[in-house]
Amino acid sequence: MTLNHICTLALWLTASTLLPASVAPDSKSKAWPANPAKHQVTIVRTAANDSEKKMLALAEAAAPAKAAGAAEGNNDAEPKWWNKEVTGIRIPCAITGAAVAYYTELVTSYQKQAFNRLIEPNSKFSYEASVSVRQNHEIKGKTLPKVYVVKMKLTFSEFLVASAFQGIQFDKQREVILDPEGKVLAVTGDGDTEVPIVSL
């Protein structure tokens, strides 16, 4: 686990007051009614015009790089964006529109659920994507007069939701470079994602 992951995890736990030490040995589970406030979804897509919106959509549709190790079963209609599961939750090897939809639906479903847990469960999903234009950009030794750069960042966390005694947290970033016609020229950020697991 990298220092960045350790710091992120420590802040997550501290902010959520979910440190295992806060749970007494003789604690008993409690019935928690559905609480939408504990399960948050934030999605921000920034594009200045229709051309940039188109490039963002194409970037989100781009299949994972071959080296990313995506799950078996890829097809043109829905390229697989995950390569494993942890506590029954898919873990991304690439950020795609399908990945964003998956985590949105997952956390939204948590908003409607009641739980029986030692501590009230919580979850959070955030996604940010932006488009910028670069002039005279060099790729693989070739200088292109104009390219579109789409940057994406996804963050997901859940504690005591998928499991009665565990929680996970991870973040993922991806950059897709496209030419003015929408052809994907380069993708960075695809690959295995570290998933810290916290237990009570």
Tens of pLDDT, residue by residue over 125-162, are 999 999 999 999 888 888 989 999 999 999 999 999 99
Instruction: State both tokens at 38.
Output: 């504990």
Instruction: Report the domain count for the chain.
Output: 1
Give the C-alpha separation, 150 to 99, whole Å. Answer: 16
pLDDT at 34 (0 to 100): 97
CA angle 192, 96, 74 (to 5 degrees): 75
**Inside any domain, residue 8:** no
Q: Provide the Cα torsion 101, 105, 106, 110; round to 10°.
A: 160
Give the C-alpha separation, 86 to 26, whole Å. Answer: 28
The closest alpha carbon to 187, from 200, 197, 174, belongs to: 174
**Inside any domain, residue 164:** yes
**Inside any domain, residue 138:** yes
- pLDDT > 70? residue 75: no
CA distances from 189 to 64, 96, 111 (A): 10, 12, 30
**Inside any domain, residue 129:** yes
CA distances from 38 to 24, 47, 135, 142, 161 (A): 22, 29, 44, 49, 11
**Inside any domain, residue 20:** no
Q: What percent of the chain has pLDDT over 90?
A: 73
Q: Domain span at residue 48? A: 37-68+80-199
pLDDT at 17 (0 to 100): 38
pLDDT tens, 16-51?
434 444 566 667 899 999 999 999 999 999 999 999
Instruction: State both tokens at 167.
Output: 């929680």
The closest alpha carbon to 180, from 140, 137, 149, 146, belongs to: 146
0.85 cut: is pTM over it? no
